[in-house]
Amino acid sequence: MDLLRRKRAASRRGFLDDQFLIAMPGMKDDRFARSVIYVCAHSEEGAMGLIINQVQQMRFPDLLVQLGIMNEQEAIRLPSTARDFMIRNGGPVDRSRGFVLHSHDYTVESSMPVSEDVCLTATVDILRAISTGRGPRHALMALGYAGWGAGQLESEIAENGWLTCPANVDLLFDSDIERKYDRILASIGIDLARLSQSAGHA
């Protein structure tokens, strides 16, 4: 894939596609306290990512009804995997917009590969597929996203707002939201109790 070749080249230039951003304990912005963000796109123009460890109150069946994908009676009869599909708070920007990060075994024309294992799709096709059990093997859905202008994310990292590390697909897609922050830190050998606010990158 040409896109993946370009992404690998971007990675060599220091871009953070397919990486986790882990909020440092001193994070000044409460919206991102103890957050883990999966970076979907990063270039000279800026960056976009999804918070993966904050839960939304809205339930997936209610969202399907709201979007007109099905009526309330159909939503009641959804299989448990779809009924219990968690919706996350992806970030403070454009909170009415939905994004699905998912394994590459499912793609539609609008799907954007982020890595060899992960794609991003932002159309209702994938919601229909998930609701009928025909969706990707692994998926997470978020409303809203986190965005940075040119140079802004690099500046926040330099000021010690974030740690960065390569994304782990298992930790990305698992549903253990409560412990995700600590588990991702532990996976790169960092003990939160000892994490200095002047630490560098992982």
Residue 171 has, within 13 A of its CA and on its CB side, a CA count of 24
Distance CA 114, CA 37 (A): 14
Q: Which domains does the chain have, with CATH numbers?
A: 2-194 (3.40.1740.10)
Contacts of 11 (CB under 8 A, 6+ apart): 17, 18
Mean pLDDT over residues 159-172, rounded? 93
Model confidence at 60: pLDDT above 50: yes
Task: Provide the mean pLDDT of the chain.
Answer: 88
Model confidence at 7: pLDDT above 90: no
Q: Is the pTM of this model over 0.75?
A: yes
Contacts of 140 (CB under 8 A, 6+ apart): 52, 86, 88, 100, 101, 102, 172, 173
Model confidence at 76: pLDDT above 60: yes
Q: In the numeric block, which tokens belong to residue 1?
A: 């894939």
Report the residue count for the chain: 202
Lowest mean pLDDT among 12-21, 50-59, 143-152: 12-21
Amino acid making up residue 96? S
Q: Which of 6-15, 126-135, 144-153 has the highest mean pLDDT?
A: 144-153
Q: How confident is the model at residue 119 (pLDDT cuts 50, 70, 90)?
A: very high
